[in-house]
C-alpha cells in the first residue's frame, strides 16, 4: 500500500504501540562486563582514559562481580595485570596469578554469573605482543600455540567457564580446544575473537591492561579493518576448529561484520564494545554533547540489532540496571 492508506507512523503513536511492535530487545543477561585485576594493589586503581573503570584487587573483583550479578549481568570477562612480566608471558599460566585467583573466588562467592577470562599473552609479556618473538621481533605463530594452550588449561582449572582467545594466532582455537579436552575441561566454552580488527579504538584499553607493545604494532596478526571477507573466512575457520561463539570487535565500527558473521556461521555471535567506544561516549557526555544513558543504550541496541547475541561492554552494570527499570 502507498500513502495515504499506508501510514507507518500509526504504529509509533504511543509507547505501548511502539513496545508491541519492537523488533529488537536487549536483556541484562546478554551483557558481559570486562574487568581488570591488578597484582600487588592495596585498592582500586582508576584508569584515567576510561572514567569509571578501575583495576581491581581480587577482593574488589569479587565485590564488582557480585554487583554485576545483582544487576542481572550475564557474565564477566577477566583481564590480569601482573607485577612481573617476561619474554614468554609465563604469568598467563601461573595458577596463583590474579585472574586464576579471582576466577576461583568469584565462582565460590557469586551465584548466577558466568565467569570468563581473556586468553592472551600480551598482558604478561615484557614486550607487549601476543605471542613469542624470534630474534628479529617477529611474532612466532606455531610456537605460541603451546603457551596459549597452557594458559587455557590453567584458567579452566581455576574455574573459568568461558575463555576468550584474543591473540589472533592461526590455529589457536584448535590447539586450545584439544588442550582443554585432554585436561578434562570439555565443557569450557571458547569465544573466539575471530573478527578482531587492528583498530585504533583499543587505545584506552592499553593503559588499562598495561599491554602497549614495546615496539611496532599488532597489524601482522590482527585483521586489516578494510577486509570484511577475511573476517568471515576467519570466523568459519575458528568454528571448524571448535569455537562455540564468535566475537567481533570493535563492535560499533564493525556492525556490518557482526551482521555478516551472524549470517555466515551457525554458532552465536558476540560483539565487544571496546574501550575507545566507551571512552568516546564518556567524553562526549562529560562535555555535555550527548546524554550518556541514551547514547550508551542506543549503541548497545545497535549491536544487538546487527545480530549479536552477547555484548561485552564496560557499560554492562549501568545498562542492566536501566533495563531492569
Does 282 qualify as catalytic in the annotation?
A: no
Residue-by-residue DSSP string for 255-299:
HHHHHHHHHH-SS-EEEEE-HHHHHHHHHHHHTTSS-HHHHHHHH
Of 55, 127, 129, 196, which is the active-site residue?
196
Does 196 qualify as catalytic in the annotation?
A: yes
**First-to-last C-alpha distance (Å) of the chain:** 38
Of 55, 249, 282, 304, which is the active-site residue?
249
- State CA 211 to chain mean position distance: 15
User: Which DSSP letter does residue 118 get?
Assistant: E
Place of cell 564518556: 282
Beta strands 162-165; 189-196: pairing state: parallel
Residue 313, C-beta contacts closer than 8 angstroms, at least 6 positions apart: 31, 32, 33, 34, 272, 273, 278, 300, 319
Phi-psi map region of 171: left, alpha, beta (phi>0 left; psi -120 to 50 alpha): left
Q: Which residues are catalytic?
A: 196, 249
Amino acid at each position: 500500500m502507498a500513502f495515504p492508506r499506508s501510514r507507518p507512523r500509526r504504529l509509533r503513536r504511543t509507547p505501548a504501540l511502539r513496545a508491541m511492535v519492537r523488533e529488537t530487545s536487549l536483556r541484562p543477561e546478554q551483557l558481559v562486563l570486562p574487568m581488570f585485576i591488578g597484582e600487588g594493589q592495596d585498592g582500586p586503581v582508576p584508569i584515567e582514559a576510561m572514567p569509571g573503570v578501575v583495576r581491581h584487587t581480587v577482593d574488589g573483583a569479587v565485590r564488582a562481580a557480585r554487583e554485576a550479578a545483582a544487576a542481572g549481568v550475564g557474565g564477566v570477562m577477566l583481564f590480569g595485570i601482573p607485577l612481573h612480566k617476561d619474554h614468554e608471558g609465563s604469568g598467563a599460566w601461573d595458577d596463583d596469578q590474579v585472574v586464576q585467583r579471582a576466577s576461583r573466588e568469584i565462582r565460590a562467592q557469586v551465584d548466577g554469573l558466568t565467569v570468563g577470562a581473556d586468553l592472551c599473552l600480551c598482558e604478561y609479556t615484557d614486550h607487549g605482543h601476543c605471542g613469542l618473538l624470534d630474534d628479529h621481533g617477529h611474532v612466532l605463530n606455531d610456537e605460541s600455540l603451546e603457551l596459549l594452550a597452557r594458559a587455557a588449561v590453567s584458567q579452566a582449572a581455576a574455574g573459568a567457564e568461558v575463555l576468550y582467545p584474543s591473540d589472533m594466532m592461526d590455529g589457536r582455537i584448535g590447539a586450545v580446544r584439544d588442550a582443554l579436552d585432554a585436561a578434562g575441561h570439555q565443557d569450557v566454552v571458547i569465544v573466539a575473537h575471530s573478527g578482531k580488527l587492528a583498530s585504533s579504538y583499543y587505545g584506552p584499553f592499553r593503559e588499562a591492561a598495561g599491554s602497549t607493545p614495546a615496539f611496532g604494532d599488532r597489524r601482522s596478526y590482527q585483521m586489516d579493518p578494510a577486509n570484511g571477507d577475511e573476517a568471515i573466512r576467519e570466523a568459519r575457520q575458528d568454528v571448524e576448529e571448535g569455537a562455540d561463539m564468535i566475537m567481533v570487535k570493535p563492535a560499533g565500527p564493525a556492525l556490518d561484520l557482526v551482521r555478516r558473521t551472524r549470517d555466515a556461521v551457525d554458532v552465536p555471535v558476540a560483539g565487544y564494545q571496546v574501550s575507545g567506544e566507551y571512552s568516546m561516549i564518556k567524553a562526549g557526555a562529560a562535555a555535555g554533547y550527548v546524554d550518556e544513558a541514551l547514547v550508551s543504550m542506543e549503541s548497545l541496541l545497535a549491536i544487538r540489532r546487527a545480530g549479536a547475541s552477547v555484548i561485552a561492554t564496560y557499560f554492562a552494570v549501568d545498562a542492566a540496571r536501566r533495563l531492569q527499570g
